[in-house]
Amino acid sequence: MSGANVAAPGALPNVLDTPVRRKWPVSPVLRWLGIAVVLTFVLLPVVYLFATSLKTRDEILSGAFWPETIFWQNWPDAFDTVNLPLFMRNSVVVGGLSALVTLALAVPAAYSMVRFATGGKALYSVVLGSYIAPPIVALLPLFYLLKWINGIDTLWGLALVHALASVPVAIWLLDSFVRGIPKDIEEAARIDGAGHVQILLQIVVPLISPGIMATGIICLILSYNELLFALVFTYQPATQTLPVGISLFQGDRLVNYGQMSAASLAGILPVYVVALIFQRYLIGGRTQGALK
């Protein structure tokens, strides 16, 4: 056997013999093409909704994408038909309350399940499985629960229902953040005499604050867009939320698609403003969860 191609013992490997993996550069044209495709996919429904809000009833039935003549009357008619500001305020109140209650339950629950394996894998599976189940399954027990505590047709009762429904997804979102905290920090605090509650409030919560903010915003948006529970547990305009208000544009014989589109666009604005204000928490929470 020839030793011409055999490296001597202890010799460094030949760099020239090491295969080089080429990184193919992404063309700027392809990069911008990909961005254009994503923006089209995201913005096309909003653009179509805006175009529909400017159409007459005949143009909507004809299926034209863009109106031939701008019909602005749908916007004032939408606010005259339904008290949109009241419904939007109710949605914001219910969403904010439900997000706070969800975090108050989910943060200690996620910490306990991750650090102390509370309930084992069975409890974790049950918690996540409850979110996968159809919401209509919980209507009857939730109805009797709200009736027992006099929460039917109230904003706080609906917020409580939304909070209970969002706890599983909140625990799932917070799980990776809690796992990313080094145990040495908690053990050092425990040696100094800190208890479990003190460690949770003074160490864990500040460290996972981006994840808590991101989870709270997501839970708020889920509550803001929820229709089934709001439709069943509220009866008066004073307690009904925006999705219920938008459903009122559907009559017995026709649907006011133009006014419904205008109301839907107006309802998007509060969520859009919240997302813009807290976008750094959403991005930071998503990135921190991915790195950990």
Best CA proximity match to 145, nearest among 239, 232, 238? 232
pLDDT for 2? 47
pLDDT number for residue 122:
77
Q: What CATH topology corresponds to 84-291?
A: MetI-like fold (1.10.3720)
The pLDDT score that the predictor gives to residue 17 is 53
Task: List, for the chain, all residue ranges whose pLDDT scores fall below the cut of 50.
Answer: 1-4, 15, 285-287, 289-292
Question: Which regions of the chain does DSSP assign to beta strands (E)?
Answer: none
CB 134 within 8 A of CB 73: no
Domain positions in the chain are 27-71, 84-291
Instruction: List residues bridging with 250 in a β-sheet.
Output: 255
Residue 125: the pLDDT is: 79
What pLDDT, on a 0 to 100 scale, did the predictor assign at position 131? Answer: 74
Half-sphere exposure at residue 9, Cβ-oriented, CA atoms within 13 angstroms: 0
Task: Write down the pLDDT at residue 120.
Answer: 76
pLDDT at residue number 290: 41
Helix (H, G, I), strand (E, B) or coil at 99: helix
The number of CA neighbours under 13 Å toward the Cβ of 247 is 13
State the pLDDT at residue 287.
45
Letter for the amino acid at 176?
S
Tokens describing residue 123? 């409890």
Q: Residue 231's closest CA among 158, 292, 290, 180?
A: 158
Residue 28 burial by CB count (10 A; 0-12/13-18/19+): exposed, middle or buried? exposed
pLDDT at 92 (0 to 100): 93
Pick the closest to residue 285 from 191, 170, 152, 165 (CA basis).
170
